[in-house]
Amino acid sequence: MRRKRSATREGAHVLIDTYGRVATDLRVSLTDRCNLRCTYCMPEEGLQWLAKPDLLTDDEIVRLIGIAVTRLGIEEVRFTGGEPLLRPGLPGIVERVAALAPRPQMSLTTNGIGLRRTAAALKAAGLDRVNVSLDTLRPDVFKTLTRRDRHKDVVEGLEAAREAGLTPVKINSVLMPGLNADEAPDLLAWSMEHDYELRFIEQMPLDAQHGWKRDGMVTAGDILASLRTRFHLTEESAEERGSAPAERWIVDGGPHRVGVIASVTRPFCAACDRTRLTADGQVRTCLFAAEETDLRGALRSGAPDEEIAGIWRTAMWGKKAGAGLDDPSFVQPDRPMSAIGG
């Protein structure tokens, strides 16, 4: 199995919803700021960032993670952004979370630009592994997609992460029509050559400019058809997948694997085990949720840990059955990916 799960837990000490799903994976956004301007995420001029007083402090982040781990059954913590490497206190946050008992598994989703200088320190602080966004092998296409000329920095960041032992190093790639939609086989071959695990992610309706269109996206089916022009793919079993968002295929008999996260065309909501905390202290039960629950207010008003845990439990109890992307009434969330955390 790809994820370990505790066999039994008391109901008062888990984040369970009315459909019986238990959240054991916490995604924590550390900042809404980013040093790229990816076309599928935000406009070229950027966004109105959160004011510093609205952001959770380092102490508040560690306290909320501690509540989640010690009182609510969280086993894995993923640090996200915006770009989490822009958070000045990141190594200290990681070190303090690593000291929790029980110790959660910790990973980081990053654009990789700052990894060359931070990978070793993050490993020393206790980080287990990283996911790095890289959508293309072509520097000119990278510049078009991200509006920044930083391709070399990302490649060097990947190398630094591998050398530091932040493994398995996973690469997240989004394919866009007319830009990099033809690169799936090349990305896979390159990833295998460098011992990275590649995962393609369907473009999701989380861009700040609300320009996403279903009929303009590269689907999981498109990606797999492209990969099969060069590779033989053997699908892993549902048992092997567990609650992981990525469907995975063994490439050419192994040992390498490739994943596809088909959030739009093949949703996996029934097995979702995630809860999300925004950089300004809001609980989100789903990436596509229209509602949030405020924990920052409770923190700053002096609420004890058990009261905050109770607010969190109530929020998760109301989690919807699915994201609703196939519902004609679906409305894209007002908050973009950079504010929510991936």
Beta carbons within 8 Å of 300's beta carbon, 6+ residues apart: none
| CA distance linking residue 101 with residue 83, whole number of Å | 27
What is residue 12's predicted lDDT score, i.e. its pLDDT?
61
Chain segment 167-225, per-residue pLDDT in tens: 999 999 999 999 999 999 999 999 999 999 999 999 876 655 555 566 778 999 999 99
Task: Please report, in range form, the residues annotated as the binding site for [4Fe-4S] cluster.
Answer: 34, 38, 41, 269, 272, 286
| CA distance linking residue 108 with residue 119, whole number of Å | 11
What is residue 8's predicted lDDT score, i.e. its pLDDT?
40
Q: What's the N-to-C CA distance of the chain in angstroms?
A: 23
Q: Is the pLDDT of residue 1 over 50?
A: no
CB 204 within 8 A of CB 212: yes
What is residue 159's predicted lDDT score, i.e. its pLDDT?
98
Map out the domains of the chain with their CATH numbers: 15-339 (3.20.20.70)
Task: Please report, in range form, the residues annotated as the binding site.
Answer: 27, 34, 38, 40-41, 78, 82, 109, 133, 170, 204, 269, 272, 274-276, 286
Q: What is the token pair recorded at 332?
A: 């894209």
* Rg, Å, the chain Cα set: 19
Q: Is the pLDDT of residue 331 over 90?
A: no
Q: Provide the CA 67 distance to its chain's centre, in angstroms.
A: 21
Q: Is the pLDDT of residue 7 over 50?
A: no
Residue type, 230: R
Task: Please report, in range form, the residues annotated as the binding site for S-adenosyl-L-methionine.
Answer: 40, 82, 133, 204
Task: Please report, in range form, the residues annotated as the binding site for GTP.
Answer: 27, 78, 109, 170, 274-276
pLDDT band at 133 (very low <50, low <70, confident <90, very high): very high
pLDDT band at 342 (very low <50, low <70, confident <90, very high): low
pLDDT band at 289 (very low <50, low <70, confident <90, very high): confident
Q: Which residues are bridge partners to 325 per DSSP?
A: none
What is residue 36's predicted lDDT score, i.e. its pLDDT?
87
